[in-house]
């Protein structure tokens, strides 16, 4: 078999009409970092920087067909999963991916930046039960980690404890992001069976942070597909997101999108 010319990342996620998160953010990120993006869209959303106006889930069997069409022909080095929405979608994606031996980066998208729920309670339970054990890496933020772990997270110590709890639920590694906690320094906690690493960086005071979770997970997935080890992939992905926030195009009246294409722009 001929060697692939690109690191292929399959994103399974919802579509964001505002272009800041979901499939759009994933494709921009993967491309900006030198990967090749393929996709399976789970939902169509009508949204902008001020919130989610409407959500239409696609039939699970159509999502399964998208996944199979891509993997049976083009293939993938890694899979990034974002918005799934319903327990039926979780079950369909889990069943389909069980036939393939491909690492999964699971970003458990539950709530949009503006506060809209994107994963119902039954889907959260299904995700914890069915998909977490399949994940190479789980990347929850604090509210998502609280739902999945059943613990309250108020500081770095709580982050570490919750991350260990989530690790015990089946994924090979957990990156618990701390951006929702107060303070001028943000801590992200990475745990895996052999160890722990804490990443920290200054908080950037801006409203243009829509899609940071999708972007970070996709960046990590791309770096892993390119052959980096997990800790280095996380470090470089965090740097990419920080620069994307700094290069945000400042669009819209609400939570604006990131500048995903900063890698193509001259330094400023």
Contact 29, 240 (CB under 8 A): yes
Structure tokens at 116: 């809209």
Which entry of 45, 214, 215, 222 is annotated as an active-site residue?
214
List the one residue out of 257, 223, 228 whose CA is nearest residue 240.
Answer: 223
Q: Is 213 a catalytic residue?
A: yes
The upper half-sphere exposure of residue 45, i.e. CA atoms within 13 Å in the direction of its Cβ, equals 27
Cα 70 to chain centroid, rounded: 20
Q: Is 170 a catalytic residue?
A: no
Which entry of 14, 22, 178, 211 is annotated as an active-site residue?
211
Cα–Cα dist 143/147, whole Å? 6
Which entry of 42, 212, 215, 222 is annotated as an active-site residue?
212
Q: Is 209 a catalytic residue?
A: yes
For the chain, helix (H) and strand (E) counts, in that order, are 8, 9
Residue 165's CB is within 10 A of a number of other CB atoms, namely 17
Which entry of 22, 213, 256, 259 is annotated as an active-site residue?
213
Cα–Cα dist 54/220, whole Å? 29
Per DSSP (E only), the strands in the chain are: 7-16, 35-48, 51-57, 78-81, 104-106, 137-138, 173-176, 185-192, 195-202
Which entry of 28, 80, 113, 177 is annotated as an active-site residue?
177
- Burial class from Cβ neighbours inside 10 Å (0-12, 13-18, 19+) for residue 82 reads buried
Which entry of 94, 96, 209, 215 is annotated as an active-site residue?
209
Which active-site residues does the annotation give?
Answer: 177, 209, 211-214
């Amino acid at each position: 078999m001929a060697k692939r010319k690109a690191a292929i990342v399959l994103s399974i996620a919802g579509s964001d009409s505002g272009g800041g998160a979901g499939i759009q953010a994933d494709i921009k990120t993967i491309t900006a970092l030198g990967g090749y993006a393929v996709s399976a869209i789970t939902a169509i959303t009508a949204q902008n920087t001020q919130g989610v106006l409407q959500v239409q889930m696609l039939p699970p069997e159509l999502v399964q067909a998208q996944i199979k069409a891509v993997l049976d022909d083009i293939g993938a080095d890694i899979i990034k999963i974002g918005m799934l929405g319903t327990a039926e979608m979780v079950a369909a994606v889990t069943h389909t991916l069980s036939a393939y031996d491909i690492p999964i980066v699971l970003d458990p998208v539950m709530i949009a930046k503006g506060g809209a729920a994107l994963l119902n309670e039954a889907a959260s339970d299904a995700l914890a039960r069915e998909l977490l054990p399949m994940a190479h890496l789980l990347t929850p933020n604090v509210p998502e980690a609280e739902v999945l772990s059943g613990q309250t997270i108020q500081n770095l110590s709580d982050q570490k404890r919750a991350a260990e709890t989530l690790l015990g639920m089946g994924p090979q590694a957990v990156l618990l992001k701390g951006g929702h906690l107060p303070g001028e320094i943000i801590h992200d906690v990475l745990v895996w069976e052999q160890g722990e690493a804490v990443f920290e960086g200054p908080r950037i005071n801006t409203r243009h942070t829509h899609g940071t979770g999708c972007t970070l997970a996709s960046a990590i997935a791309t770096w892993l597909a390119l052959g980096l080890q997990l800790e280095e992939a996380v470090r470089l992905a965090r740097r990419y997101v920080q620069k994307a926030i700094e290069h945000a195009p400042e669009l819209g009246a609400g939570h604006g999108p990131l500048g995903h294409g900063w890698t193509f722009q001259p330094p400023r």
